[in-house]
Structure 1
Amino acid sequence: MSRPRHTTGAPLSNAPAGAQPRDLPAAPRPHATPDRTIHMIGNSHIDPVWLWPWQEGYQEARATFWSAIHRMDEYPDFVFTCDQMVLLSWVEESDPELFARITERVAEGRWVNVGGWWVEPDCNMPMGESFARQGLYGQRYLVSRFGKPATVGMNADPFGHSASLPTVLRGQGMDSYLFLRPGPHESELDDTLFRWRAPDGSEVLGYRIPFEYCSPPGSVDGQVDKALGTLDRSLGDVMVLYGVGNHGGGPTIANIESIHRYDRMGSFGRLRMSSPREYLDGVHARGPEFREGLTVWTDDLQHHAPGCYSAHSGIKAWQRRAQYALLSAERWAAVTAVHDGTPYPREDLERAWKQVLFNQFHDVLPGSAIEHAYDDARDQLGEAVAIAKRLITRAHNTIARQVDVPLEEGSQPVLVFNPHPWPVSTDVELHYGSHPGAVHVVDDEGRVVVSQPTQSRATTNQTGRGALVLRADVPPLGYRLYRVRMAAEPAAPEWSEGAPGGLTVSGTVPGTVLENDLVRVELDPATGWITSYLDKRTGLDVMRGVDGAPHTQVCDDPTDTWGHRVVSYAWAGDTMATARIVVRETGPLRARVRVEREWGASTMIEELLLDHDSAVLRVDVTLDWREPAHLLKLRFPTALTDPRATYQIPYAELERPVDGAEEPGQGWVDLTGTLDGRPAGLTVVMTNKHGYDVSPGDQPSIGVTAVRSPVYAWHDPRLLDGDDVYAYQDMGIQRFSYELVVHGGDRHAADPGRRAALLGSPVRAMLESFHPGTLPRTGSFASDQAGPVAITALKGTEDATAGPGGADLVVRAVETRGAAAVARLELPVVGRTVEAEFGPYQLRTFVVPADPEAPVREVDLVERPLTESADGADGAEGPGRPAGVRTAAVAPDVPAAGGDVPDADAQRASAGLTPTQGSHPDATGRPVPAEAASEDDPA
């Protein structure tokens, strides 16, 4: 009778399968073992939201982390890598015992925190400031709980990565970046390990995760096999990630046992349970020659799932609104903290920002989660906006009660607040108490400003709400007093900001020609779209001869939610039929023409607005979409030749090919070429939309994916079953706006980044009462001079200070045009100015104490003092005093509470303005227009 093999007493020979004793020695390996170390990175990618709601992800984080702790108890060499700080925060608040165990293992070095961000966000669509806040809150969380930040960036699962991310990573203290997509089959980048350089020159080591970031629960041999088949094997030592993921789980006993087994067998090389930091330290140890020999990548990391740029219009709009609202709330809260001693609301802002950051997760913001996940996203982002509105309203009222508003019978005072640190000139829609007769508007000095009636949102006589639109010129991050006088306008008004003239609406079909002294815009009566856009200043017509080109393209779209394997959505499609063209408004300030279109069960209304003194055409869109599995492109054809396309990306801009590819973008896309041998171009400034193409041909065009309506969370290659019932995205009404900016070849002339910010975050008009005050009737708190360097954030310090309101100012600015510049950042709220040198697209952050004796110091994106780095990558001379920074005292534009009220002209002069110049001019020579938020929508 034969005995079982394990009882023979003979030495055990390793085999790829079958039961084997645990804890066998790792050596000696066979001499034929490949000479490389494979760093096995144990992790569990957890999607807190995807095919499940966040409440399920909350529980799964706790279960997965307990599993990792148990594996550490069982295997002394096991190392676990964790990213997404929100998961740790959930465990901290729900299971203190588990969190204490994690803390012990972090100190031991076996629980390794990487990434440093609150979640793994979509890495294309959030604003630059959102990426800054991912690390601000993520890294500060790690330091506060574990005493050390992450040094390795990690976004394993997002569907593409903006070219400017190395700027953010270096600013947050991370020198490297792990990602999976795009794979080698989706990009011209072949390398596994490379140097990734941002437009500003910041650089990190990039590592493309081979094959997958997670593995099945059994043996890891398949994972390692496939990883070795996709990575650059000339590297020698490499990283391979393993562990059950997506819905959590983490490394299993079978995973770990198989690593030990294949290490003993020498099947793939030396298998070592490791961390990303250990591997990357080994890369640095190879010396500068090795690093210098790596490929330098200076572009985005694209493309994967381009449908995500447009899937679920709602989440894109909610996110954009919340980001703008919080940036405004921070600014006003910081102003009243240092000016009035109001406690800086750190906790409120942190709670709101974390809701925003969480919902930038790469299966929420891209639109790829289940339908019910968006109920939670809407509510969470609504909470963030509600917090922002409360803070804005409180700050505005704190300021307003101090403004001197003398009594004037028969008038209604109005304060207009500008949230942007540059002067703006904007059309403000104002609702006020009804008055049966004519009204007009005057500014803070009693001069008549251009205004006209508009339709009120209230259609009942009982509430008595009148409505008008007025031209407001408001200083940087400041306010200005206006009055609605309940009387007809004087017969010969002394216009305060440029007399209107030359604005007409005409055409064989009324409303098909809009004209002022600067431009003439002609519409085709049949299509309702532009056939000519003549710039009278240059004689150029960038849309000349595009009569036959479609503006709307409706396509049957069978692609899945993500748009897997999609290269372009720039397909020929049906045009929406024009139902009617209606003139809605004519007056001295602006003209408004309504174009109504329909296709199938859907309708689209575009209201074209042209001001009397602007070359820019604004379009407000209301889309009622009822077409499952279809898409709508809005197309803007031109007559340009030799076109080049430039897109706004977070903290920078990037030129991309004119090839029709679906690309992600922020607030604007530009097409510049030649017309009649002269430079010319068209910029489309857009709210809430992120999917673009720039297509070649006889009529090169910019395309915007206005809507796609796939099935929720449908992942190709699964085919839809005709017997099932599905929910389709974007059924119903949505609204967005865009502007068309024609130019003579210089896209920066109209400053599209500032236009996009103003279009997305309008000024706020607030009805006020009569009262004495110590503040002037117009004032400014901060200004970046509307130059090439733009202030992106003005906030209070994350750490409390002894100053007013418990906060010093944090001011962050970025160079926006790709050329070195010297910036003068004026901060009259604290009576100081900062002059600093900026390289192309350089991002810098300063702490400006309210105490005039305390020095201004430069900090990183986590608000830590800059220190000179080994390779000088931070560009700092030493702690707190980097190169090219000068500070000085300036006379404040706004006095401290209780101070003297300076003359209004002196106020404008100190801000570099004259009594008749209140803003940064666009290409027309007049200031940037936008519409104000209503008094009850301050965000």
Structure 2
Amino acid sequence: MKPDSSHIKQIKVVSNTHWDREFRRSFERTRRNLLTMMDVTLDILEQDPEFASFTMDGHSIMLDDYVEMRPEKRELVEKLIRQGRLIVGPYYTLAEEFSVAQEALVRNLMFGRRTVESYGGQTGTVAYTPSSWGQTGQLPQILRDFGLDKMMFYRGISHHEADAEWIWSAPDGSKVLASRFALYARYNWYYQVHRAVTRGTVFDKTYHWGEYDEVPFRLSDGLSGEDQSYGLLAPALHYDKSRLKQAILDMVEREGRHFTTEVFLAMNGHDISVAYPLESQVIRDAKELLGDRYAIEHTDLEKFWEEAQKHLQLDQLPVLTGERRSYLKEGMWTFLFPGTISARTYLKQQDFHATKELVAYAEPLAALSAVLGGEYPVRYLERGWRYLLSNHTHDANGGCAPDAVCLDIEYRYRKAADIGGIVSEDAMGYIARNLSPEHLGTEATQLVVYNPLPVERTVVTTVDLELPRGEGAKSYSLTHEQDPSVQRQAVAFEKSSVFVDSIWEVPTILDSHRVRMHVELSKLPGLGYRAYRLQPQAQELRNIRTLVTGPDTMENQLLKVKVNANGTLDVVNKLTGKAYNNLGYLTDQGECGNAWKHVAPRFDRKYNSLGVTAQVAVTESGELSSTIEASYSFLVPIDYADGNSRNTIMAELPVKIAYTLEKGASAVKVKLTVDNKAKDHWLRVNFPTGLATDLSWADTHFDVLSRPIPIPDSTGWVEQAGGTHPLQTFVELTDGKDGLALLPKGIYEYEAFEDDSRTLALTLIRACRIKLAVSEEKLTELPDQGIQCPGEQTFEYAVHIHAGDWREAGLLNAAACYAAPVRVAVSGRGQGSLPSEAGLFTLTGGTALHVSAVKQAEDGSGLIIRLFNPSADAEQAAFRFGVPVMEAFRCKMDESVTEKLPQPADGFAFEAAVEPKKIATFRVIFAGGSGE
């Protein structure tokens, strides 16, 4: 950092807003403010040609939100965007990155570009993302694939790491120029100059009634709902020129030394701020008062960078690589705030589910159906993605907002998941209808199994069938020439009835048998289907063999499992002899913080469940799948009382944990339900590994990375470092010989403790209070209870026991298979010509490669396959298709073609190298136009 600010010669003033689509208020209430902001801003831009431009944050969804209510303004919006005076994008929404999936980041930029271009604009070269609490490490690589080579953010990088300008590198070496702004981040001119000349203050946020004639207004009849704030019906438009010169000088003096060049970036905007009508006058006056000292210009971020780059010495800038999640050592307002990934964990689970429905099921199954002659449902999928991405506004998906906002979020998650389910069902139905009826009578029934992943799979899965009652049928068998002897395990067999719907008829009733079984299905084709023949059997299916070996023990080929009297799990890896004890005990500590950060009570009391007495019972017994359940009550303080210490009144949390072991599985599946009757507490599930390591390994967006277990020394820092970290689908500890991994479904926060047992923990609930702030000194606590996560909460994860590390254990694939089981459907005989088994493609080659997306190209031409190599070694991706390939191309993530690959030798296969840490996207054109 420079010793002073004497090198500053230029000041670039950027007028902007930071638009929280829904935060303090619900979306519709916030949109009322959006209409005002846009109406005022458009009028200013239209009437004042000196007002250079206004930057609409870094996203674009608010254009649609505005034009939906002001359709008559669309033409003006488009004109100002084309003129470069209304700056939008490049994102669709500004997400909290670590609470969403990797594909959501890519689609966000795709939808952002599409939205901006629909209004006649371009997304430029600057990614302005000031919102996420930390930045994911592969973002520079993603941005470069969308033509974005500059990045601006301030959470996750501390002042001691770099000056305002620096270079950010992804693990693969993709680089962007980056800015962390200066001391006061994205609102330095706003506070230090704008407020000084319009309100006579800088940082003080006290409102003085009567100081200005502004008509404060607040509904006060007790019916005002979520918002208790005053609004100013006639906000004063005040400007004191006499304060301007000193305000600018003070700003430059405070912050100038942060900038590496002579160009000072002055950001004039705030949360939900509006363009200032006198901005041009202020700029003119600033030039008059300080023109001999600074070249002051009203401009935008693109032009700031254009000028700054003329003065940057790139070879002298620090290069920071990978994930940016640094705590703040010095400064203010730019805290990491890592707690959002554990706020409202139920929302994170809903996001996980909705994303899975779209990415893991709907898109690949629709692609499979389209290649086989079906229609790819473009509009449906676009609608589903818009519902999902509209939730990816940082305060919303971060779980920080009041209950009214979060209820809207839950609605949109349901819509996204429903649409994903509809698309999947239609694709599976198309395949079933078009199966060949050869050798099948009209009375035939089939079990069609769909594998959405491009890997061959042998699975144990559960089927829940409603089958026509056959005379004397007491069970049903499954047969297929590729899997002639399907092993079955009975779960239930009972008389039932079910509706049959027809567009030509009223709903009719089928008298049926409801048959529930576990079945083992072998070598299912990658991203494909197989139709088994269902045959009624006169003999009952009885479970003679079982994985259960005692009242509280189970064993398969790989693992020995014991459920202890306190509800925890002991597991022995039979291949290595490594034993793990007391896995899955709960800990609970006090929580006085908020959605953004954990704060412990001054005198905390911490509890664990190791001493509880659980009721243990075998609830399912068989040779394919067995389950032992443990139930107990966990006593914790009811709340934090006065915040100084936890309450002495205790709440009883009923806990039920189901441990399931399957044939041949290297993981124990866990379903944990807790009835949360307490408040202000942090509940975690813990796994003492006994593994000698100082590193944890976890997957993140398009990567797998290691993190040190010891918490760094942050003595004297303005933000104290913690030990929690984000994950996507797995976290692992390994000593090189043995490893234990947790594979959660939508649980995104973990911590590995530097204790004797090297305990690994997942956050289940971090129940806190909503404390909204206009400053750290003045907090408003809302009565909303949703953030306390009350009532029954259910969590699912698998405890994966293995030898070696994540790569040897194939944890990315294991997590994907766990999160996306095969789908099954009962069908009558088909009416087409499809074979009884087919697959779109299988990926082989390499031990680390992982597919993240299979979808139709955005332009409708061909199939898009995206995969990534999270390892430090180059790997060879080998694709084997079930239909002939005409052409294959490498693409960027924006789907623009970069290279044509050699013609597949046999028409069905091709290979491509994937460099270390690289995200690789391919476009495949099938012979005959299939998939277009």
Q: Structure 2 length normalisation: TM-score?
A: 0.79
Shift in Å at residue 234 of structure 1? 5.0
Distance change >3 Å, CA 151–CA 571, structure 1 → 2: farther
For each residue in 1:455-477, what CA deviation from the matched residue of structure 2 results, as whole angstroms up to 9, or x when unmatched? 58999999752311112232111
Structure 2 residue matching 1:283: 3-state secondary structure: helix
Distance change >3 Å, CA 653–CA 456, structure 1 → 2: farther
Structure 1 residue matching 2:756: 3-state secondary structure: coil
Task: Give the alignment partner of residue 666 of structure 2, picking from 615, 620, 631.
Answer: 615
Alignment correspondent of 1:452: 489
1:159 lines up with 2:133 in the alignment: yes
Separation in 2, partners of 1:475, 1:50: 46
Give the aligned residue type for 1:505: V
1:589 lines up with 2:624 in the alignment: yes
1:195 lines up with 2:167 in the alignment: yes
Task: Give the alignment partner of residue 807 of structure 2, picking from 748, 753, 765.
Answer: 748
Structure 1 residue matching 2:698: 3-state secondary structure: strand
Task: Give the alignment partner of residue 769 of structure 2, picking from 711, 720, 725.
Answer: 711
Alignment correspondent of 1:664: 726
Separation in 2, partners of 1:194, 1:458: 69
Contact 1:596 1:603 in 2 (8 A): yes
Contact 1:227 1:240 in 2 (8 A): no
1:823 lines up with 2:859 in the alignment: no
Shift in Å at residue 755 of structure 1? 2.1
Contact 1:43 1:241 in 2 (8 A): no
Structure 1 residue matching 2:285: 3-state secondary structure: helix
Structure 2 residue matching 1:588: 3-state secondary structure: coil
Structure 2 residue matching 1:448: 3-state secondary structure: coil
Separation in 2, partners of 1:48, 1:589: 49
Task: Give the alignment partner of residue 518 of structure 2, picking from 449, 464, 469.
Answer: 469
Alignment correspondent of 1:839: none
Distance change >3 Å, CA 68–CA 714, structure 1 → 2: closer
Contact 2:591 2:600 in 1 (8 A): no
Structure 1 residue matching 2:436: 3-state secondary structure: coil
Alignment correspondent of 1:790: 850
Shift in Å at residue 758 of structure 1? 2.3
Alignment correspondent of 1:334: 367
Shift in Å at residue 721 of structure 1? 9.1
Task: Give the alignment partner of residue 389 of structure 1, picking from 421, 424, 436.
Answer: 421
Separation in 1, partners of 2:68, 2:593: 41
Separation in 2, partners of 1:812, 1:724: 45
Contact 2:61 2:115 in 1 (8 A): no
Separation in 1, partners of 2:268, 2:493: 59
Give the aligned residue type for 1:174: L
Structure 1 residue matching 2:742: 3-state secondary structure: strand
Shift in Å at residue 663 of structure 1? 0.9
Separation in 2, partners of 1:602, 1:148: 54
Contact 2:766 2:788 in 1 (8 A): yes
Shift in Å at residue 519 of structure 1? 1.9
Distance change >3 Å, CA 100–CA 735, structure 1 → 2: same
Structure 1 residue matching 2:381: 3-state secondary structure: helix
Alignment of 1:93-108 (within 5 A): 93-108=68-83
Shift in Å at residue 745 of structure 1? 2.0
Separation in 1, partners of 2:114, 2:67: 15
Structure 2 residue matching 1:618: 3-state secondary structure: strand
Give the aligned residue type for 1:560: N
Shift in Å at residue 271 of structure 1? 2.9
1:574 lines up with 2:608 in the alignment: yes
Shift in Å at residue 357 of structure 1? 0.9
For each residue in 1:646-684, what CA deviation from the matched residue of structure 2 results, as whole angstroms up to 9, or x when unmatched? 11101111111103611111010111125xxxx222111
1:626 lines up with 2:692 in the alignment: no
Of 229-238 and 549-558, deviating more is 229-238
Task: Give the alignment partner of residue 506 of structure 1, picking from 537, 549, 570.
Answer: 549
Task: Give the alignment partner of residue 319 of structure 1, picking from 346, 351, 374.
Answer: 351
Separation in 2, partners of 1:519, 1:582: 19
Of 461-470 and 216-225, deviating more is 216-225
Separation in 2, partners of 1:516, 1:46: 54
Shift in Å at residue 228 of structure 1? 5.8
Give the aligned residue type for 2:407: D
Task: Give the alignment partner of residue 535 of structure 1, picking from 548, 561, 573.
Answer: 573
Structure 1 residue matching 2:788: 3-state secondary structure: coil
Structure 2 residue matching 1:121: 3-state secondary structure: coil
RMSD, aligned CA: 3.4
Alignment correspondent of 1:402: 434
Alignment correspondent of 1:64: 37
* Unpaired stretches in structure 2, ≥5 consecutive residues: 203-246, 328-335, 499-510, 635-650, 712-722, 912-932
1:559 lines up with 2:593 in the alignment: yes
Alignment correspondent of 1:871: none
Distance change >3 Å, CA 33–CA 212, structure 1 → 2: closer
Shift in Å at residue 571 of structure 1? 9.2
Contact 1:139 1:149 in 2 (8 A): yes
1:443 lines up with 2:486 in the alignment: no
Task: Give the alignment partner of residue 48 of structure 1, picking from 8, 18, 21.
Answer: 21
Task: Give the alignment partner of residue 521 of structure 1, picking from 553, 561, 573.
Answer: 561
1:305 lines up with 2:337 in the alignment: yes
Alignment correspondent of 1:218: 195
Of 689-698 and 770-779, deviating more is 770-779
Shift in Å at residue 255 of structure 1? 5.1
Structure 1 residue matching 2:55: 3-state secondary structure: strand
Shift in Å at residue 454 of structure 1? 2.3
Shift in Å at residue 162 of structure 1? 0.8
Shift in Å at residue 572 of structure 1? 4.7
Distance change >3 Å, CA 690–CA 229, structure 1 → 2: farther
Separation in 1, partners of 2:724, 2:129: 22
Task: Give the alignment partner of residue 810 of structure 1, picking from 835, 843, 864.
Answer: 864
Alignment correspondent of 1:877: none
Separation in 2, partners of 1:538, 1:565: 41
Alignment correspondent of 1:673: 735
User: Structure 1 or 2: larger strand share?
Assistant: 2
Alignment correspondent of 1:480: 530
Shift in Å at residue 821 of structure 1? 1.0
Distance change >3 Å, CA 633–CA 776, structure 1 → 2: same
Separation in 1, partners of 2:817, 2:266: 44
Alignment correspondent of 2:98: 124
Alignment correspondent of 1:235: 260
Separation in 2, partners of 1:571, 1:691: 22
Give the aligned residue type for 1:792: S
Shift in Å at residue 321 of structure 1? 1.2
Alignment correspondent of 1:888: 904
Contact 1:306 1:567 in 2 (8 A): no
Shift in Å at residue 478 of structure 1? 0.6
Shift in Å at residue 550 of structure 1? 7.0
For each residue in 1:119-175, what CA deviation from the matched residue of structure 2 results, as whole angstroms up to 9, or x when unmatched? 111121211111110111111222333252331101112211111111111111100
For each residue in 1:212-241, what CA deviation from the matched residue of structure 2 results, as whole angstroms up to 9, or x when unmatched? 324356347958646863575351334545
Give the aligned residue type for 2:893: L
Aligned length: 793
Contact 2:675 2:792 in 1 (8 A): yes
1:685 lines up with 2:743 in the alignment: yes
Distance change >3 Å, CA 612–CA 797, structure 1 → 2: closer
Shift in Å at residue 33 of structure 1? 8.2
Contact 1:338 1:808 in 2 (8 A): no
Separation in 2, partners of 1:449, 1:782: 24
Structure 1 residue matching 2:403: 3-state secondary structure: coil
Shift in Å at residue 601 of structure 1? 3.1
Structure 2 residue matching 1:783: 3-state secondary structure: strand
